Structure 1
């Protein structure tokens, strides 16, 4: 039985197609081992959840950190969560789609303009699947672009972190809307699919995006499994969140794997009126409330000074308040996506 990732299936269809009893599937759903949705008294299972449950989906999990507004601390947030994953033993790839290139700064890594996400997305440097030798070309390109970050001698976790940095030429590429011979939103998705063929050892990919919902962010959403959005405690930040959620909803038609892993308040402080008012406002908005995490990252001065530390905060000061908060965020995100 062929499964379509975006389609909803009844238990009878799955039981018949895979020679398993409906009672067994019901028990798996009730225990949370299989994700499903109840319509009245009947269970429905989306094709994507079934494929994940059966292990038919493989390759790295792809997380996108996005917000339509600037000032939310996305780059610091992305880097620290990815490094926490590396501390757990995972091999993690960071992809920087923000032309400002902050990920390289936070990881104290020099940038070669000829080895950035510009080369990854520029169609003139890539080959479609129909061209003979496309796999060898991708192997060469990924081997060149997949760069180790410095500091592994002092922090063992960094030996499992790789980066494709950004360069300000990325802004020119975005303005040109890439090459027009194919839909621009598929460029990164094709690149990541090729990565799983030539280098299957990456466990997770974390993508930082620019503070807008342009073609670079759309590329990330097309390639993603999960989107997480840090936001600053301001009313302006809520507008960015709502516009992002609208875009996510639209992209489900093209990327049925996409799910929201959480909305996280950055620079929060529960002792302030603004912190609590913003959280209550989000809880009152149907498009945002289901995704708001209880965890937050406080406005600690040390966290704001992250670039001066030379390594991510979770390594430089692993017992700091902000590092502990980031670990709680990651744990809560995991509970949302499992």
Structure 2
């Protein structure tokens, strides 16, 4: 049974927005953010694709997509240049959410990519053919990166239009972020001039602690309007959902975590909408 749409549809972008969810620091809610934003948009009437580029396959797990070693995956796209059309899987329970799964084969792909032609732009080529070749197919694409700055993440940055960085509201929140920003600048200079850091989202926010508020203030001072107004709370329901092969949007849609991701998704959708579109009217 498919999840029903929320009452207020989100505005559709004129062209598919390809968003790279990246932070080389682990444990910041990167995969959680990618799958829950995608699910929130899908229940609000948008067509969304999640590309799982992490060898751990956590995004595939959270979306209930089988990703054992024998199934076609993003590995085949990167190494064998297989078309994305035959690898995309529909996410059960949603009318408009799809996933390109990751398998354990991806773990060795960075070594294999080194010797291949156009090693940095293989994902870009696949996205151009599958997503941008037919713009009506998706409204949003979220690429979930591994927590590293290797060739997989470079492929994502070359293949995307925007970077979304989750930052956890904890001590050392900005640690290592400068290296990610340097890599983004390098990719922009040499491989993808259109790439931009469009969105920062604060995760694991605990309003009971002074530290969380201090970190949020520091991030907002540093990144300004790029930071979403919505913060995602630390939530047991968000943490539990993947173990049931679900996003929090279906596991507990009334929870604070689900409502926060829904609001964050709306902020992102409205960030490129004209004043007439922000009312929630979409061109369906």
The reply to whether TM is greater than 0.5 is yes
Is the 8 Å Cα contact of residues 96 and 103 (structure 1) preserved in structure 2? yes
Residues 301 and 144 (structure 1), Cα distance of their counterparts in 2 relative to 1, 3 Å cut: same
After TM superposition, the score normalised by the length of structure 2 is 0.83
Residues 310 and 177 (structure 1), Cα distance of their counterparts in 2 relative to 1, 3 Å cut: closer
Which residue number in structure 1 is paired with residue 112 of structure 2? 176
Residues 333 and 240 (structure 1), Cα distance of their counterparts in 2 relative to 1, 3 Å cut: farther
Tell me which of 17, 20, 25 is aligned to 1:69: 25
Which whole-Å deviations, capped at 9, do the CAs of 1:265-313 have from their partners, x for residues lacking one?
A: 111112211102212332443xx34422221110111111121343211
Tell me which of 262, 266, 272 is aligned to 2:209: 272
Which residue number in structure 2 is paired with residue 96 of structure 1? 52
After TM superposition, the score normalised by the length of structure 1 is 0.70
C-alpha distance in 2 between matches for 1:261 and 1:296: 16
Which residue number in structure 2 is paired with residue 13 of structure 1? none
Deviation at residue 147 of structure 1 after TM alignment = 1.2
Deviation at residue 251 of structure 1 after TM alignment = 2.4
Which residue number in structure 1 is paired with residue 185 of structure 2? 249
If asked which structure has higher relative contact order (CA below 8 Å, sep 6+), I would say 2
Query: Is 1:82 matched with 2:38?
Result: yes
C-alpha distance in 2 between matches for 1:178 and 1:120: 15
Which whole-Å deviations, capped at 9, do the CAs of 1:35-57 have from their partners, x for residues lacking one?
A: xxxxxxxxxxxxxxxxxx9x7xx
Query: Is 1:281 matched with 2:218?
Result: yes
Is the 8 Å Cα contact of residues 88 and 101 (structure 2) preserved in structure 1? no
Which residue number in structure 1 is paired with residue 65 of structure 2? 109
Query: Is 1:223 matched with 2:223?
Result: no
Which whole-Å deviations, capped at 9, do the CAs of 1:93-123 have from their partners, x for residues lacking one?
A: 111000000012112221243411100101x
Deviation at residue 167 of structure 1 after TM alignment = 1.2
Residues 99 and 108 (structure 1), Cα distance of their counterparts in 2 relative to 1, 3 Å cut: same
Residue 67 of structure 1 aligns to a residue whose secondary structure is coil
Residues 179 and 92 (structure 1), Cα distance of their counterparts in 2 relative to 1, 3 Å cut: farther
Which whole-Å deviations, capped at 9, do the CAs of 1:184-238 have from their partners, x for residues lacking one?
A: 2111101111113378522221110001111111111111112111122234331
Which residue number in structure 1 is paired with residue 4 of structure 2? none
Is the 8 Å Cα contact of residues 265 and 297 (structure 1) preserved in structure 2? yes
Q: Which moved more, 1:159-168 or 1:197-206?
A: 197-206
Is the 8 Å Cα contact of residues 41 and 262 (structure 2) preserved in structure 1? no
Alpha carbon RMSD of aligned pairs, Å? 2.2
Query: Larger C-alpha radius of gyration, 1 or 2?
Result: 1
Query: Is 1:234 matched with 2:170?
Result: yes
**1:20-35 to 2 correspondence within 5 Å?**
none
The number of residues matched between the two structures is 258
C-alpha distance in 2 between matches for 1:199 and 1:293: 26
C-alpha distance in 2 between matches for 1:204 and 1:335: 13
Is the 8 Å Cα contact of residues 171 and 211 (structure 2) preserved in structure 1? no
Query: Which consecutive residues of structure 2, in runs of 5 or more, have no partner in the other structure?
Result: 1-12, 274-284
C-alpha distance in 1 between matches for 2:49 and 2:155: 17
C-alpha distance in 2 between matches for 1:89 and 1:211: 30
Residue 172 of structure 2 aligns to a residue whose secondary structure is helix
Choose between structure 1 and 2: higher helix proportion: 1
C-alpha distance in 1 between matches for 2:237 and 2:102: 25
Which residue number in structure 1 is paired with residue 243 of structure 2? 308
Which residue number in structure 2 is paired with residue 21 of structure 1? none
C-alpha distance in 1 between matches for 2:136 and 2:86: 16
